[in-house]
Copies of this chain bind each other. A is one copy, B any other.
Amino acid sequence: MMRSYGQYCGLARSLEVVGDRWNLLIVRQLLIAPARYRDLLEGLPGIATNMLADRLRDLETAGVLERRLTGEGCAVEYALTPWGSELRQPIEGLIRWSTPLMIRGPEADAFRPEWLALAVPALLDTRVTTRPSATIGLEIGDAPFQLRASSSGFEIGAQDGSALDATVRADPAYILGLAAGALTLGDARALGVVEVDGDESVVLAVFAA
């Protein structure tokens, strides 16, 4: 638990809960989906096992997440509380703010396609939310997804057979930088084709509204 700032300020008190190293990244993983301990270790490359255990305890105590026992046997699962889920807004703000840092490209950093599920909605132009019929196609690895944008938010589901209006193919490690710089739904423009040099590929397609 972070040492108190001793300031009666909303920002300071928030940071006493989620300002510790790794905390917001754990919340990021749980915003994508509830997860088990092992999933979190994989989704947070570089974290030490004791750090993850400590942080999960802190965040549970603070009321940001909760431990749940899934149906089969005694499997432990971690999920955000309603209050913890509301961190989506500031986290999306930080993802948008990172644009100048992301367009440098991935360099030696790790990349996980699941992070797109959080980043792409955050990076889409806000005009999307006023166009109820907007739909974006996402293919992560071999699994095709469809990202539906409506006034009530974004929803990821199975992809139907809609024709593509524009298509982009990019290495997973570059897709975020490309999206940050160029992706807006208002004009649905193609981002261009980038060479794929890894064995894992992501196809990001923008459909017409």
Residues of chain A having any CB pair with chain B under 8 Å: 2, 4-19, 21, 24-25, 28, 45-46, 63, 83, 86-87, 89-91, 93-102, 106-112, 115, 118-119, 122-123, 173, 176, 180
**A8 close to B83 (CB less than 8 A):** no
List B contacts of A86 (CB < 8 A): 97
- Give which listed residue, B90, B101, B112, contacts A13 with CB less than 8 A: B101
A21 vs B122: C-alpha distance when bound (angstroms): 25
Apart from A5-B46, A9-B176, A13-B101, what 19 extra A-B contacts exist at CB < 8 Å? A4-B109, A6-B46, A7-B45, A7-B111, A7-B115, A8-B106, A9-B25, A9-B28, A9-B115, A9-B119, A10-B102, A10-B176, A11-B94, A14-B95, A14-B97, A15-B94, A19-B24, A89-B96, A90-B90
List B contacts of A101 (CB < 8 A): 10, 13-14, 16-17
